[in-house]
Structure 1
Amino acid sequence: MRAAGRQVVRDARTAPPDPALTELRSASQHLLATRLQQLREQTADRTTQAVAAPWTDRLPELAARQLDADASGAMIA
């Protein structure tokens, strides 16, 4: 019985690959490569967008805003 088990393993290693399994592996590799490329592009987009303006450049814009009535009352009191 033990020899038969070894024969099955030997046959599995030397048997030609199943075409459906080959196609499945190929499709899986393609999908993985595509997803990795998408993630790389998203990461690159995020790093280029993340540049913030220095706070000193925003001072005139912030100073020109009017305070809310509630906020201005709280500051005076």
Structure 2
Amino acid sequence: MKAYGEVRQRTAEYLFVIRLKQLREQAAARTDAASAAPWSGRLPGLAARPLEGARPGR
């Protein structure tokens, strides 16, 4: 039974490492996607939008 416990422990550690790797890759993909559009590309569109509550002509 001792060998079974050791194998079970190693398997759990291996699966844990694999899952951490997957989570890191997903986080990196989200970070890359979020930074794909630089602010210099977004600012003209944001500046052209009216402010909330602003009245036209004022």
Aligned Cα root-mean-square deviation (Å) = 2.6
Greater per-residue helix proportion: 1
Of the three residues 51, 58, 65, the one matched with 2:36 is: 51
Identity %, equivalent residues = 10
Structure 2 unpaired stretches of 5+: 52-58
Q: Which amino acid aligns with 1:61?
A: A
Of the three residues 27, 30, 40, the one matched with 2:25 is: 40
Helix, strand or coil: the match of 1:18? helix
Structure 1 unpaired stretches of 5+: 1-16, 66-77
In the aligned structure 2, how far is the partner of 1:56 from the partner of 1:41? 25
Larger Rg: 1
TM-score (structure 1 length as normaliser): 0.49
**What is the number of residues matched between the two proteins?**
48
Q: Which residue of 2 aligns with 1:27?
A: 12
TM-score (structure 2 length as normaliser): 0.63
